[in-house]
Amino acid sequence: MKVVFIFGGLPHYYNFILNKLNDQPDIDVTVFHPEINNGSLGKSVHQDKKNIRFNTVALEETKDLFGKNYFKNLVPKLKQEKPDIIVIGWPHILNFYSNPFIYAYVKANNIKVIEKSIPYQLPALQNASEFYSNIDKILNEHCNKKQLVNIEILVINPI
């Protein structure tokens, strides 16, 4: 079984568990991570590529219209890796649902998607429901409301 983890970096505290998973006879682990830290990880998070026994793929990371990080050329890399399962966290999970090409590829290939979050950043269920039901709370404070209106117009009235 091929498992691709999509992370905002390679923090040292993931290496032990990813090595253990990769050591299982039927599991092949690959981690997609940014070429450079674009702010997905905290400034003081130590990254470490020493003593890892799983594959890593550095991808170009950029920001979308809302200021959220995403990986360019993710679909070609997924096609190359052919995962059975993708484990992904914030903010990259947003791109799975906002990018129709990624969503279509995952659906067409029956890839299972698991969202992984750091427990101390998870709100209570009721708070999460309120947050995700209000687009103003999801959007970055730097997002111009006019950009959002233009996007809605583009989607509703394709030229």
Q: Are 53 and 90 in contact (CB under 8 A)?
A: no
Helical packing angle, 100-108 and 74-81, nearest 10°: 20
Q: In whole angstroms, what is the distance from residue 65 CA to residue 79 CA?
A: 25
pLDDT exceeds 70 at position 135: no
Please give the structure tokens belonging to residue 26: 């039927």
Q: What is the pLDDT of residues 34-45, one digit of tens each?
A: 887 666 666 666
Summarize the confidence of residues 10-27 as an average pLDDT. 89
pLDDT exceeds 50 at position 155: no
Class of domain 2-122: alpha beta
Domain ranges of the chain: 2-122, 123-159
pLDDT exceeds 70 at position 18: yes
pLDDT exceeds 90 at position 51: no
Whether this model's pTM surpasses 0.85: no
pLDDT of residue 31: 94
Long-range contacts from 104-111, C-beta under 8 angstroms, 24+ separation: 105/75, 105/78, 105/79, 106/78, 109/82, 111/78, 111/83, 111/84, 111/85, 111/86
Q: Are 147 and 65 in contact (CB under 8 A)?
A: yes
CB burial string 63-100: b at 16+ within 10 A, e below: eeebebbbbeebeebbeebebeebbbbbbbbbbbeeee
